[in-house]
Amino acid sequence: MFKELLKLERFPTIWCPGCGIGQIMIQLAMVMDELGLDHTNCTVISGIGCTGRLAGYMNMDSVYTLHGRTLPVAEAVKLVNPSLKVIVVSGDGDLASIGGNHLLHAVRRNPDLTVLCNNNQVYGLTGGHAGPTTPRDTRTVSSPAGSPYDPVNLQNLMKAGAKYFYAKTTVYHQVHLRHCIKEAIAWPGFAFVDITSQCIENHGRRLGFNSAYEMLLHFRKTYKRAPDGAEILGPDEIGIVRKG
């Protein structure tokens, strides 16, 4: 049962009702259950942010690292114990902004890690500040006139490596999300799953959404499956691109 992989005694979680992180956690636990991953063969490592708190709800040894430092910690864990499945779960700000240098070098070194990036396009925990994935012109607490920059292109960043695995999915597309997590865990190298999700309280409402449900419907409307074997994902496509 996937519920045995969660520390239910720590529930309710700290997350706002309707937050997308819970979905990522449930889907991850379901995949782990299916693959036989548990406290004897797996560890979850997260950074700081709302997403980072996920590690503490997993019923296995987990590490909630410093802000941005998941990858150096995870790489070292994997190097010391290669038989351990090491799964990193963190926010887009944590991985791509303060941890950006580590991401760049993880792409280069290609360690055998699975990374689930909760891409809610904002710094959720600090109250809705713009981050590296915030789309241009989006209003946030720290970009009241709209963010002046284009977001970081995570797909291209991942493809900077000679070998790569990049999956783009959303919390609305649950079957696809599960599929991506499974494929990423099976990938023998650095596998990055870019999961579009909703931060309703510190972002969605400011954008005019009334509920998390409305945000999910927006994901359904926006994102289409990329054709099988696609080598590049368009901005509104979900799918997997990889090169081994």
Binding interface with ligand TPP (CB under 6 A): 48-51, 67, 91-94, 118, 120, 122-126, 131, 199
Asked if residue 124 binds ligand SF4 (CB under 6 A), the reply is yes
Smallest distance from the beta carbon of 34 to ligand TPP, in angstroms?
Answer: 26
Task: Put residue 123 in one of left, alpha, beta given phi > 0 → left and psi -120 to 50 → alpha.
Answer: beta
Please choose, from the candidates 241, 213, 239, the residue with its C-alpha nearest in 3D space to the C-alpha of residue 224: 239
Residue 92 touches which member of ligand SF4, ligand TPP, another protein, none, C-beta under 5-8 Å by kind: ligand TPP
Q: Binding pattern to ligand SF4, positions 36-55, x when CB under 6 A?
A: --------------x-----
Asked if residue 15 binds ligand SF4 (CB under 6 A), the reply is yes
Phi, psi of 69 (to 5 degrees): -110, 20
Residue 61 touches which member of another protein, ligand TPP, ligand SF4, none, C-beta under 5-8 Å by kind: another protein
Token digits of residue 201: 């309280």
Closer Cβ to another protein, 26 or 37, answer by number:
37
Taking the C-alpha atoms of residue 134 and residue 214, their distance in angstroms, rounded to an integer, is 19
Asked if residue 133 binds ligand SF4 (CB under 6 A), the reply is no
Closer Cβ to ligand SF4, 91 or 161, answer by number:
91
Please choose, from the candidates 69, 112, 91, 126, the residue with its C-alpha nearest in 3D space to the C-alpha of residue 197: 91
Taking the C-alpha atoms of residue 69 and residue 173, their distance in angstroms, rounded to an integer, is 29
Residue 201 touches which member of another protein, ligand SF4, ligand TPP, none, C-beta under 5-8 Å by kind: ligand SF4
- CB atoms closer than 10 angstroms to residue 134: 27
Number of residues counted as binding ligand SF4 (CB under 6 A): 12
Kindly tell me the burial class for residue 190, based on how many C-beta atoms sit within 10 Å of its own C-beta (0-12, 13-18, 19 or more): buried
Residue 216 touches which member of ligand TPP, another protein, ligand SF4, none, C-beta under 5-8 Å by kind: none
Asked if residue 226 binds ligand SF4 (CB under 6 A), the reply is no
Smallest distance from the beta carbon of 239 to ligand TPP, in angstroms?
Answer: 23
Residue 102 touches which member of ligand SF4, another protein, ligand TPP, none, C-beta under 5-8 Å by kind: another protein
Closer Cβ to another protein, 46 or 170, answer by number:
46
Token digits of residue 158: 């991942």
Residue 15 touches which member of ligand SF4, another protein, ligand TPP, none, C-beta under 5-8 Å by kind: ligand SF4
Which residues sit at the interface with ligand SF4, rule CB under 6 A? 15-16, 19, 21, 50, 120, 124-125, 199-202
